[in-house]
Structure 1
Amino acid sequence: MNVQKSYSQRGGLSASTIKWFAVFCMAIDHIAWAFVPTFSAVGIVMHAFGRITAPCMCFFLTEGYVHTHDIRRYLLRMGIFALLSWPCFVFFERGPGIWALEPGMIWSLFFSLLAITAVDRLKGPVPKMLAVAGCMLATLVGDWPLFCVAFTLVFWLERGQFYRQAAGFAAAAVLMALFYASDNATQAVSPRWFFLQLCVLLALFPLSRYNGTRGDERHPKCNKWGFYIFYPAHLFLLGILRYFVFV
């Protein structure tokens, strides 16, 4: 199948436009975690927007993998920013002077990229499955554990077939919502958390408009480095506001 043609038939948003929209949604979500009661009307709306971010980033990991000139440099860049973001994420989540094994979203995205690299390049089903399992386990300490890898694999395996991507993603999203919304002690599902997690399906709206282009070629460096820099920077700033300004 001509992937570029199938993308062009689906609409008119570039990768850059969708990714920056996802970044905006992420910022809204983190502002809500810091300052808005979770299940207030405003909180639910803000967190619903925040569910859009992770699936979009997983989707564009697969596009980045296809178009990168050097996968080792791509992985190195993500790995470095995963480590740099770690203290910022912990500071935002827990406050100053606290350390925890919570490296954040870029950590999980790094292992998601590593998973599709393994699936694409390793020979034989057993090495592929072991590599994917290892990557999924590594995300247990990160943000969006397990399902960040799952979403990325769905988008990778069905790349260029949007309706198949959407169906696979929707199935994974339901499993994720059940998993994240289950009480560890009773295994009962919280309806409010289930609904909130299921809002990841909102990501299908902007992704359905992806036209297969990178977009905004006037500022390629901004598009390349913007998310990596914005992620730890906005967490650090929100942490400052949360613990030192609005206390």
Structure 2
Amino acid sequence: MTALSPRRTFSGTALKTIACITMLVDHIGASCIEAGILTPGLDAGTLSQDTLSAYPLYRLDMVLRFTGRLAFPLFCFLLVEGFVHTHNVKGYLGRLVLFGLLSEVPFDLAFFRTPFFPGAQNVYWTLALGVLAMAGLRHFEKENGLPGWQGLVFTGRWH
């Protein structure tokens, strides 16, 4: 009889790697197939829905996008872990905003074919808002560890 090996866990680096790979897979589907790099008729609206469903790239796109759905929850988990363990929330937030600014033009070019598209922004802005919400909850935390009413108002959670 052999002893069972000890339980192994994912490291933060492994989770970041998985999140980055699944995000890349998702972005390949979104930018190359849906935004029209590989399917010029799709973004121009010249492909009908019947033609599209039979299109092999459409099926590939579904696989890529479904695989990519794993990225955001992983990044959110890592964001919370980073927030809990950071000693400098302002620096953490600043880095998110900096990467949001640096990646906005490439994001808009890849997905909307224009250097600035006001209708959508990259995910760094959503993550930065998440850090702001956590910082607000922490700032207005009661002595018993529960969020105060100001923290709930700050984050918009009142139900």
* 1:85 to 1:97, Cα distance in 2 relative to 1, 3 A: closer
Residue matched to 1:60: 78
Residue matched to 1:91: 109
Provide TM-score, normalisation by structure 1.
0.46
Question: Pairwise mapping of residues 1-247 of structure 1 onto structure 2 (< 5 A)?
Answer: 11-36=8-33, 40-96=58-114, 98-123=116-141, 125-133=148-156
CA–CA distance in 2 between the matches of 1:115 and 1:11?
32
CA–CA distance in 1 between the matches of 2:64 and 2:107?
19
The answer to whether the 8 Å contact 1:86/1:104 transfers is: yes
Higher relative contact order (CA 8 A, sep 6+): 1
The answer to whether the 8 Å contact 1:86/1:102 transfers is: no
Identical counterparts, % of pairs: 26
1:98: how far off?
Answer: 4.7
CA–CA distance in 2 between the matches of 1:113 and 1:10?
31
Cα deviation 1:191-225 (Å, max 9, x = unaligned)? xxxxxxxxxxxxxxxxxxxxxxxxxxxxxxxxxxx
3-state secondary structure, aligned to 2:118: coil
CA–CA distance in 1 between the matches of 2:68 and 2:9?
23
CA–CA distance in 2 between the matches of 1:83 and 1:10?
40
| 2:32 counterpart letter in structure 1 | F
Aligned length: 126
1:41: how far off?
Answer: 2.4
The answer to whether the 8 Å contact 1:25/1:52 transfers is: yes
1:64: how far off?
Answer: 0.6
| 2:154 counterpart letter in structure 1 | A
Structure number with higher helix proportion: 1
Task: Name structure 2 gaps, 5 residues minimum.
Answer: 1-5, 35-51, 142-146
| 2:64 counterpart letter in structure 1 | M
Task: Name structure 1 gaps, 5 residues minimum.
Answer: 1-8, 135-247
Largest Rg, 1 or 2: 2
3-state secondary structure, aligned to 1:99: coil
CA–CA distance in 2 between the matches of 1:114 and 1:66?
13
CA–CA distance in 2 between the matches of 1:127 and 1:10?
42
* 1:98 to 1:105, Cα distance in 2 relative to 1, 3 A: closer
* 1:24 to 1:97, Cα distance in 2 relative to 1, 3 A: closer
* 1:118 to 1:45, Cα distance in 2 relative to 1, 3 A: same
Provide TM-score, normalisation by structure 2.
0.69
1:10: how far off?
Answer: 6.4
* 1:45 to 1:84, Cα distance in 2 relative to 1, 3 A: same
CA–CA distance in 2 between the matches of 1:61 and 1:108?
11
